[in-house]
Homo-oligomer: A and B are copies of this chain.
Amino acid sequence: MSFILALIPGDGVGPEIVNASKRILGKLIENYDLKIDIIEVEAGDSALAKYGTALPQQTIDVINKADVILKGPVGESAMDVVVKLRQMYDMYANIRPAKTLPNVQSKYSNVDILIVRENTEDLYKGYEYLIDNDSAVGMKIITRKASERIAHVALNYAVKRKKKVTCVHKANVMRITDGLFAKACRNVIKGIEYNEMYVDAAAANLVRNPNMFDVIVTTNVYGDILSDEAAQIAGSLGLAPSANIGDNKALFEPVHGAAFDIAGKDIANPTAFLLSVSMLFEYLYDKSKDNRYLKASNSLLDSIISVYSENKYTTIDVGGNTKLSQMSDVIYQRIK
């Protein structure tokens, strides 16, 4: 089985991280004899400046035929790139692991939460209107279909983990919309431990005792907020990878933004991007059932973790003093 990968370098620290990661990607493809065709495309602020649109037609043409998209962080035009792509290709499951890495200073230890965020509806549909100059309305859309399919995703992850799902909503206030979401989760998630929690309580409980959570399934807006919070509790938002998975296409991206303030200085941390690459290989394994993809995924993950365990070649944001280029070089060397 062969795959087409559309690669978006993005903005800010995106291009330098993607650049440093390309060699790693190449080595994995070579070592494991993978059939991946990489096509680089433009999207984001730089594309907007150049072509007048953050997501140019030639980029869409490539993505149309691609199996997977690997994306660096994008600047202010992120909404027009990533939210649009999620909806265009119905990539409905946003998978956000919040997992502690060795030696990353944190007030919490051994955090290991998987947030499964519904990725296509809620206020993210963008159905928003000015009623008049002084009042606006946005539509929070919740459907049974989208809620049930995300619940299935959460259930599937949970059976491979600690068999526990927390459905997060606010159905005591949003009785109809969040009520529908909660009911769908209740109907689908069976045979494992299941509980529900209001989103405000979940935000507090993540701080109080993150280890009470395994898989969290929630709607788009709450998922956006809780996944950033959880990533920071696990160590740093700057280290969090993510996957956007649909039935026919998937996009992988770091959760962090373009960080323009440190761009071009060779000090950005490539971890979140590389962990996203590892998730990408795992996804290709799921698609192909070809073990080589799983091995590539694990090889990359092991290399990253070994660098953190050794605690010698990490970037400044996690207390080290290694440059981006050197850290990715060390990871490259350790790829088996």
Interface residues of A (CB under 8 A from B): 76, 78-79, 83, 107-108, 123-124, 126, 128-130, 133-145, 170, 172-177, 179-180, 199-201, 203-208, 221-222, 224-229, 231-233, 236-237
Q: Which of B143, B200, B227, B232 is within 8 Å of A135, CB to CB?
A: B143
- In the complex, the answer to whether A226 meets B207 with C-beta atoms within 8 Å is no
CA A124 – CA B225 in complex, angstroms? 18
**Knowing that A123-B140, A138-B176, A208-B237 are A-B contacts, what are 17 other residue pairs whose CB atoms are under 8 Å apart, sorted by A's residue number?**
A76-B172, A107-B108, A128-B176, A130-B180, A135-B143, A136-B142, A136-B180, A137-B139, A138-B139, A138-B140, A138-B177, A170-B224, A200-B225, A200-B228, A201-B228, A203-B232, A222-B225
Residue of B whose beta carbon sits closest to that of A134: B144
Q: Which of B225, B231, B236 is within 8 Å of A199, CB to CB?
A: B225
- In the complex, the answer to whether A172 meets B78 with C-beta atoms within 8 Å is yes
Cβ–Cβ < 8 Å partners of A226 in chain B: 203
- In the complex, the answer to whether A174 meets B123 with C-beta atoms within 8 Å is yes
Q: Number of copies of this chain in the oligomer? A: 2
Is chain A's binding surface mostly helix, strand, loop or mixed?
helix
Provided the pairs A140-B140, A233-B207 are in contact, do residues A128 and B175 lie with their beta carbons within 8 angstroms? yes
- In the complex, the answer to whether A124 meets B173 with C-beta atoms within 8 Å is yes
- In the complex, the answer to whether B141 meets A137 with C-beta atoms within 8 Å is yes
Provided the pairs A203-B226, A204-B231 are in contact, do residues A143 and B134 lie with their beta carbons within 8 angstroms? yes
Q: Which of B83, B108, B203, B236 is within 8 Å of A173, CB to CB?
A: B83
Cβ–Cβ < 8 Å partners of A135 in chain B: 141-144, 180
CA A130 – CA B175 in complex, angstroms? 10
Query: Most chain-B Cβ atoms within 10 A of its Cβ — which of A124, A136, A139?
Result: A136
Cβ–Cβ < 8 Å partners of A199 in chain B: 224-225
Query: Most chain-B Cβ atoms within 10 A of its Cβ — which of A137, A172, A207, A232?
Result: A207
Residue of B whose beta carbon sits closest to that of A141: B137
- What are 27 A-B interface contacts by the 8 Å CB criterion? A79-B172, A79-B173, A79-B175, A107-B108, A123-B174, A128-B177, A129-B176, A130-B180, A133-B144, A134-B143, A136-B142, A136-B176, A136-B180, A137-B139, A137-B140, A137-B142, A138-B140, A140-B140, A170-B221, A203-B203, A204-B229, A204-B232, A204-B237, A207-B232, A207-B233, A208-B232, A221-B221
